[in-house]
């Protein structure tokens, strides 16, 4: 048993509430909001008693609730219900006391921070109608989607029957996605059994706030979650296994790239074909990301490579530069790119059509996120730096890791999203093994990007054997707005998770210049994406998959564009601009059937050009 300083009960309650809410499946995009949740707070007469440290239970509960409300995002879909404040606890008052339930706020009705005064005014007096409170809380929640109730109580339901566990079973039997987490505050065995039953039948967790050891163990369990998978575009194109069956691809423009899911024939060591036509005076820019099933792999398992090619029917290459999409570790999305020469200008680039095909190696995934854009040669190159390849940077040219400073909010994504808000500065996020996350950042013409990452917290660090600790790493990559992988430089290729507090910096090799198109994907200024992947090549429990629940690691990422911004090129209108449109992104998340912990934005552009942003709520209540 650990020692407990004053107010530790309040701290343990708030930590328990926050981490229990984290265990609820989220349903979409905003990284600073949570799934609809109602907190039910006990204000019955027994809350006037003292805890193990002599503090009145209600005072500890108020402190915990207010800390919780203060940490919640302003737009949180958070409700608050209390019971026991309107009547006494005499036998004559029981009928009224069992209806004594007060709704302080429906989810989303008020800012969480505005509820603290209501909490401060609570006076514990009456009965403990837990079952009726659960029914009331459930009424306040949406009928569909992930949602939760967090119940804090110091005793049994004094208004039963029906038994509170039967009430919980009835709620679960409705087929809802409701999860109830319970916290026993200085409870006896009977109350603990009752609260544990409520949590168990609804798929929630129970924590005992009277025991530091049991609370710590329960919090670890409560904070586990599944990895979020990559969201592929909903439009699909079937590539062919030979040239004769190759489909003709419709191409997008620089303003409206065409993004599709390329379905590849699953054959090791083969090729997959499509055809493209390039207008005079244009380049074709291709971004590709191989998307394997979510999870981790053992060393040398799950590796893959898609090497892009652009050749004529006579097998003459029209590409200016290219990098394969491949992963030697397996289990994570990895990107590559291809940029063609200028049609009608460069060698071997004057054909009516070309074969865009991929040489495949190892265990290639079936799905490739493919972005296609025609890029007209600029009318005006802007700054002279766009006429020559930029001077490459080396690892020694990177500035010292920056002080991460204040934490800013950011949209956390499971895949690049052209509509995502850009961020510079430091962000904090949580990630589990086998997961990949993306952040949007502006990198303008003439600039390069530095990215510094450090592990802030790893709850499992002392529970792993040495081999498993050294096998866990965070790795960074950088893509331009077309999903094309840019080369990066570093002193060390990855950051081992066990190196908590160590700052690891990578940087793009080339400052942005249009002339880089013959060397690298750093040819296009504007929105970029930083990819963070959590790999693990050795786990005692075996590789993870979409069903594995793991305790997240918390990290801090600092994004710093460096260098002087210059005038970029002016591109004339593409010959096919009127024929292209951005594609919709699938609402399906292949890595999480129940959409747990942080899930991200569904963006679609309809034929009427009306943008529909459907978002629900991510469960990130812990303080950034």
Look up the pTM and report it. Answer: 0.68
3-state DSSP of 255-292:
CCCEEEEEECCCCCCCEEEEEECCCCCEEEEEEEEEEC
Query: Which pLDDT score, from 0 to 100, does residue 453 have?
Result: 94
216/271 same-domain check: no
Degrees to nearest 5, angle at CA 619 with 417 and 103:
130
548/520 same-domain check: yes
110/219 same-domain check: yes
357/299 same-domain check: yes
**Is residue 603 a part of any domain in this protein?**
no
- Per-residue pLDDT at 37 exceeds 60: yes
Query: Which pLDDT score, from 0 to 100, does residue 579 have?
Result: 43
- List of E strands, 432-471: 436-443, 448-457
Instruction: For residue 609, count other CB atoms closer than 10 A to its CB.
Output: 8
- In contact, 268 and 328? CB cutoff 8 Å: no
Q: What is the mean pLDDT of residues 390-407?
A: 81
Report the alpha-carbon distance of residue 137 to residue 157 in Å, rounded: 16
Query: Which pLDDT score, from 0 to 100, does residue 263 have?
Result: 94
pLDDT single digits (tens) 126-144: 888 889 989 999 999 988 7
Report the alpha-carbon distance of residue 462 to residue 536 in Å, rounded: 16
**Is residue 241 a part of any domain in this protein?**
yes
Range(s) of the domain holding residue 410: 236-593
**Is residue 602 a part of any domain in this protein?**
no
Q: Which of 223, 256, 275 is the last residue of a domain?
A: 223
Residue 59: which CATH number?
Answer: 3.40.50.410
**Is residue 608 a part of any domain in this protein?**
no
- List of E strands, 135-281: 147-153, 178-184, 206-208, 225-226, 236-238, 252-253, 258-263, 271-276
260/125 same-domain check: no
pLDDT single digits (tens) 431-455: 999 999 999 999 999 999 999 999 9
**Is residue 53 a part of any domain in this protein?**
yes
171/266 same-domain check: no
- In contact, 23 and 223? CB cutoff 8 Å: yes
Range with the lowest mean pLDDT among 83-92, 340-349, 381-390, 556-565? 83-92
Range with the lowest mean pLDDT among 249-263, 313-327, 485-499? 485-499
Q: Which of 196, 223, 250 is the last residue of a domain?
A: 223
**Is residue 615 a part of any domain in this protein?**
no
Q: Which of 193, 223, 253 is the last residue of a domain?
A: 223
422/472 same-domain check: yes
Q: How far is CA 512 from the centre of its chain?
A: 28
- Per-residue pLDDT at 47 exceeds 50: yes
- Per-residue pLDDT at 508 exceeds 60: yes
Measuring CA to CA, how many Å separate 46 from each of 182, 189, 212? Answer: 18, 16, 22
Band (111; pLDDT cuts 50, 70, 90)? confident
5 burial type by CB count under 10 A (0-12 exposed, 13-18 middle, 19+ buried): exposed
179/271 same-domain check: no
Q: Pairing mode, if any, of strands 206-208 and 178-184?
A: parallel
**Is residue 229 a part of any domain in this protein?**
no
Report the alpha-carbon distance of residue 196 to residue 165 in Å, rounded: 9
The count of structural domains within the chain is 2
361/288 same-domain check: yes
Nearest to 150 by CA among 9, 45, 15: 15
310/168 same-domain check: no
Q: What is the mean pLDDT of the chain?
A: 80
255/164 same-domain check: no
**Is residue 309 a part of any domain in this protein?**
yes
168/247 same-domain check: no
């Amino acid at each position: 048993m650990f020692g407990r300083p004053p107010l530790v009960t309040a701290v343990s309650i708030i930590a328990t509430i926050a981490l229990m809410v984290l265990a609820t499946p989220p349903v979409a995009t905003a990284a600073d909001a949570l799934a609809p949740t109602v907190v039910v707070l006990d204000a019955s007469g027994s809350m006037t008693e003292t805890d193990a440290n002599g503090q009145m239970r209600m005072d500890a509960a108020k402190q915990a609730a207010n800390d919780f409300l203060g940490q919640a995002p302003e737009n949180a879909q958070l409700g608050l219900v209390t019971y026991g404040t309107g009547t006494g606890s005499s036998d004559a008052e029981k009928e009224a006391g069992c209806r004594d339930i007060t709704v302080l706020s429906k989810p989303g009705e008020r800012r969480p921070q505005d509820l603290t005064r209501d909490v401060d005014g609570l006076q514990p007096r009456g009965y403990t109608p837990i079952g009726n409170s659960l029914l009331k809380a459930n009424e306040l929640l949406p009928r569909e989607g992930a949602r939760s109730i967090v119940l804090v109580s110091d005793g049994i339901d004094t208004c039963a029957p029906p038994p509170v566990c039967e009430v919980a079973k009835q709620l679960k039997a409705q087929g809802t996605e409701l999860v109830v987490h319970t916290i026993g505050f200085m409870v006896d065995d009977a109350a603990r059994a009752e609260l544990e039953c409520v949590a168990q039948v609804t798929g929630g967790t129970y924590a005992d706030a009277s025991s530091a050891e049991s609370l710590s163990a329960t919090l670890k369990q409560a904070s586990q979650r599944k990895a979020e998978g990559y969201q592929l575009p909903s439009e699909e194109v079937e590539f062919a296994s030979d040239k004769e069956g190759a489909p003709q691809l419709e191409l997008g423009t620089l303003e409206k790239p065409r993004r599709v899911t390329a379905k590849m024939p699953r054959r090791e060591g083969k090729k997959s074909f499509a055809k493209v036509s390039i207008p005079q005076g244009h380049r074709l820019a291709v971004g590709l990301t191989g998307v394997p099933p979510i999870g981790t792999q053992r060393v040398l398992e799950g590796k893959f490579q898609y090497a892009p090619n652009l050749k004529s029917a006579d097998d003459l290459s029209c590409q200016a530069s290219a990098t394969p999409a491949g992963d030697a570790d397996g289990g994570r999305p990895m990107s590559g790119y291809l940029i063609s020469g200028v049609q009608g200008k460069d060698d071997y680039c004057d054909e009516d059509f070309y074969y865009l095909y991929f040489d495949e190696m190892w265990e290639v995934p079936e799905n490739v996120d493919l972005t296609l854009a025609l890029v007209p040669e600029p009318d005006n190159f802007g700054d002279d730096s766009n006429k020559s390849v930029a001077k490459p940077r080396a690892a020694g040219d990177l500035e010292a890791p920056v002080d991460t400073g204040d934490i800013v909010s950011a949209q956390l994504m499971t895949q690049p999203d052209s509509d995502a808000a850009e961020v510079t500065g430091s962000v904090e996020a949580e990630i589990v093994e086998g997961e990949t996350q993306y952040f949007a950042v502006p990198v303008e013409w003439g600039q390069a990007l530095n990215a510094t990452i450090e592990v802030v917290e790893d709850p499992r660090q002392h529970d792993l054997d040495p081999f498993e600790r050294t096998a866990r790493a965070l790795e960074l990559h950088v893509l331009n707005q077309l999903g094309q992988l840019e080369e990066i430089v570093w002193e060390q290729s990855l950051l081992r998770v066990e190196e908590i507090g160590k700052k690891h910096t990578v940087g793009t090799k080339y400052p942005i210049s249009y002339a880089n198109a013959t060397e690298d994907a750093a040819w296009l200024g504007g929105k970029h994406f930083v990819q963070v992947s959590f790999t693990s090549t050795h786990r005692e429990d075996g590789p993870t998959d979409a069903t594995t629940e793991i305790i997240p690691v918390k990290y801090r990422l600092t994004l710093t564009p460096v260098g002087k911004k210059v005038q970029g090129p002016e591109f004339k209108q593409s010959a096919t601009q009127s024929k292209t449109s951005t594609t919709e992104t699938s609402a399906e998340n292949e890595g999480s059937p129940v959409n747990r912990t942080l899930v991200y934005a569904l963006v679609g552009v309809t034929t009427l050009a009306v943008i529909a942003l459907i978002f629900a709520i991510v469960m990130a209540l812990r303080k950034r």
